[in-house]
Structure 1
């Protein structure tokens, strides 16, 4: 849990403060011209997403989950109703109005919808006392919650790798290169983390093959 908490703290410490000023000029996502509700909704999305990331860490923390069952249920409700649900719904609006091009728009819409659906399935399983299914679906929800962190890293790497190809692959268009680089993270990061989550879930199944 230590490395995970450190990553979350560093990411939030870098990403969130500009939005706490409520100054649109400091936004890393410029609002579309003439859209006056985009920035307030973006700030709300960031804040609800922060709640989701912090409470998600408590949800998967084995010692907290096993020793503080009531706390686990409480943080779980906060994670869903004050984190994923509002952040995901706002993400649909923010994603639709992104200025980063159609590929990022579709990736954000698909990611937000998938985040909401996976979390809702996990919540339903808990209410039906299917705790094994609940844990599996909430593990996937956690992977989607943390995909934003990996996405930033992937986008940076993609920008570095694609920059020398501006004059060849992108026919001299630096803007096209930036759009292409920005679209890789939102697609690749959720996919990688979901695959990792399911691989770990398969390894932890009773009777799963263990290395000799």
Structure 2
């Protein structure tokens, strides 16, 4: 089926509109994401930006500029992503939906390669491998979502955008679990590298589960009597 305009972006299979997510679910999900993000910024990121951790500042000194550009683009992706999943925005404001999508993908086009560069040249080898795979998946899921929407395959676009944003949010989840909750895997279980692998697999599983749950049901086959 061809989709004539962006206003049809919430149509599902066979032209049937997708069921709206319950407003209570959206509010709860956005509230949780916003709360975690705010905590991570205030407790973890702000002290680093203000130079209150000399050891960290000395460690990132050789690549601080690259890391800051990566972080700025990551924040842009982090905050432009959620509205992409709100049906009301897609229906009532298709131009805003497109603009946010362009900003999101442009941010990842910059942040993704920089993340891989830092992981390859400035991270512990085991952690660097896990972070490199995560960064490559981040770029690949985003590129696949872009290719799908260009083909007007909106169901596939929705799935890969969910995967892409799930990987975007690992930035917050990683710091929330380790720095806020103080939970770390022991070294004999793989340490931080194993946690990155588990986090990458986990967020993709969760995003796929949510998309599958809200996918429109297929219409039953009927036969002429």
TM-score when scaled to structure 1? 0.76
1:6-155 alignment, distance < 5 Å: 6-18=35-47, 20-21=49-50, 25=54, 27=56, 30-31=59-60, 36=62, 38-81=63-106, 83-99=107-123, 101-155=124-178
* Aligned-pair CA distance for 1:186: 1.4
Q: 1:180 to 1:60 in 2, by over 3 A?
A: same
Distance 2:93 2:207 in 1: 24
Which runs of 5 or more structure 2 residues have no equivalent in the other structure? 1-29, 219-225
Distance 1:62 1:29 in 2: 45
Please, which of 183, 195, 198 is the counterpart of residue 157 of structure 1?
A: 183
CA contact (8 A) 1:88 1:113 kept: yes
Moved more, 144-153 or 131-140: 144-153
Task: Tell me the residue number matched to 1:199.
Answer: 209
Aligned length in residues: 186
Deviation beyond 4 Å, 4+ runs, structure 1: 18-24
TM-score relative to the length of structure 2: 0.72
Find the aligned partners of 1:148 and 1:141 in 2 and give their Cα distance.
Answer: 12
What are the superposed Cα offsets for residues 24-78 of structure 1, whole Å, 9 maximum, x if unpaired?
94747923xxx83x11101111111111101112222333333221111101100
Pick which of 21-30 and 102-111 moved more: 21-30
Q: Which runs of 5+ in 1 are unaligned?
A: 163-176
Structure 1 pair 111/69, CA: closer, same or farther in 2 (3 Å)? same
Counterpart Cα distance in 2 of 1:182 and 1:116: 22
Partner Cα distance (2:55, 2:98) in 1: 36
